[in-house]
Amino acid sequence: MTNSVLKLPEEALKRLISHYQNKEIKTKNPHARFAAKLPDAMITVYTSGKVMFQGAGAERETAKWGAADSIKEKTASAKGDQLPPDFANRSVLGSDETGTGDFFGPITVAACFVPAHQVELAKELGVKDSKQLTDDYMRKIAPDLKAAFTYSVLTLDNEKYNQVQAQGWSQGKIKALLHNQALKHVLRKMAPEKPEAILIDQFAERGIYYRHIAQESDIIRENVLFSTKAENLHVSVACASIIARVAFLEEMDRLSTVAGVSLPKGAGAIVDEAAAKILLSRGEAFLKSITKAHFANTKKAQALAAKKKRT
C-alpha cells in the first residue's frame, strides 16, 4: 500500500477538508481532526497539520494538494496482508524476532502492545525501524519502552535451539512457536483489553505459519495480520524489534563473559576466526553450547582450527 504525507498550512487544510466534506467518515483516532474515504483512497487530516493519503489513489489525490514547500513522504513497500486505513494509528500488538542469522547467541522474540493513544509516546521515546538504530541506542531506550508498554520477550538459548533443530525443527517452526507464545503472554497480561489487530513481521506465508504451530493447544488467530517490513507499518512492531534486539545483545554479553572473548555478531569470516580460536582453547562441546551448531560456520571453524594446529 502506498502512503503519502503532506504538511500543509491551515488555509490549505481548510480547503482540503471542504473539498472532501461529502466523503467524511468518523474516526476514533484522537490525533485526527478529519477523515474521508474515497473508492480507492483514504484521507486523514491530523492535528499536527499533516495529511495522510492511503491506497491505490493516494498519489493522485496527493498531487491535488502538493505544494513546492510541502513535505512529501512515502513508506517503504511491504508485502503481506492489506492493512486497514490509518493502521499506523490504531491499537496494535506487534511481534518481531532477531538472532536467526547469527552463529553465536540465541534467537529472541518479542511482542509489544501499543494502544492508539500511546503511538506518539512511542515515537517520542525514539522508536523507529530498529535497522536505523545502533545497538547502543536501542540499549538506551529499551528500558523506557518496557516501562511504558505491555510486552513479552522470549530467549531460546543455544542448547535448546540445537536440541530442537536436531529433532528436525526448521527455523520457521521455531520462530512461529516463539511468536505465538509471546503473543499469548501479552494478550494474557492486557486482558480484558484486546488489540484492534495483531501484526507479525512476516517470515512465512500465513498457511505455513499456522501449520508450524498446528499442534499447539492455544493458537492466536483473531485479527492476526502478516507483513514484511512491519516495523515501518506500526510502532508496536518497531518496539518489539528493539526489545528483542536488546535481549539478544544481553545474552551475547553473558556468553562473551563465559567465553572470555567478545563474540562477534553475524555469520561472516570474522565469526569463523573467533569460533576457531574458541574451538582450540575450549573444545568442540563448549563451542556448540554457545552457537547454532548446524550453521556452516562450524565446519569452517573446524577447518581453520585444523590449519592452525598444523602451523
Model pLDDT for residues 5-53, shown as the tens digit of each residue: 788 888 888 888 999 999 999 887 777 899 999 998 899 988 888 888 8
Domain 87-249 has CATH 2.160.10.10: no
215-244 pLDDT, tens per residue?
Answer: 999 999 999 999 998 999 999 999 999 999
The confidence score (pLDDT) of residue 56 equals: 82
- The tens digit of pLDDT for each residue in 76-102 reads 445 778 888 789 999 999 999 999 999
Is the preceding peptide bond at 106 cis, omega within 30 degrees of 0?
Answer: no
Cβ proximity of 23 and 38 under 8 Å: yes
Does 96 show up as a binding residue in the annotation?
yes
Is 97 among the annotated ligand-binding positions? yes
Cell numbers representing residue 160 in the block = 535448546
pLDDT value of position 157: 97
Furthest C-alpha separation in the chain: 81
What's the whole-number mean pLDDT along residues 271-275?
A: 95
**Whether CATH 3.30.310.10 fits 2-68:** yes
Contact between 256 and 288 under an 8 Å Cβ cutoff? The reply is: no
- Side-chain half-sphere exposure of 73, counting CA atoms within 13 A: 10
The pairs formed by 214-218 with CB atoms below 8 angstroms and a separation of 24 or more are: 216/177, 216/180, 218/180, 218/184
Confidence band, pLDDT 50/70/90 cuts, at residue 285: very high
pTM, two decimal places: 0.74
55 pLDDT band (50/70/90 cuts)? confident
Q: Report the percent of the chain where pLDDT is more than 70.
A: 94
Say which residues have a Cβ less than 8 Å from residue 261's Cβ, sequence separation at least 6: 274, 277, 278
Question: Side chain identity at 57, as an amino acid letter?
Answer: G
| Inter-residue contact 53 to 3 (CB < 8 Å) | yes
Residue 66 pLDDT level (bands cut at 50, 70, 90): low
The domain spans of the chain are 2-68, 87-249, 267-309
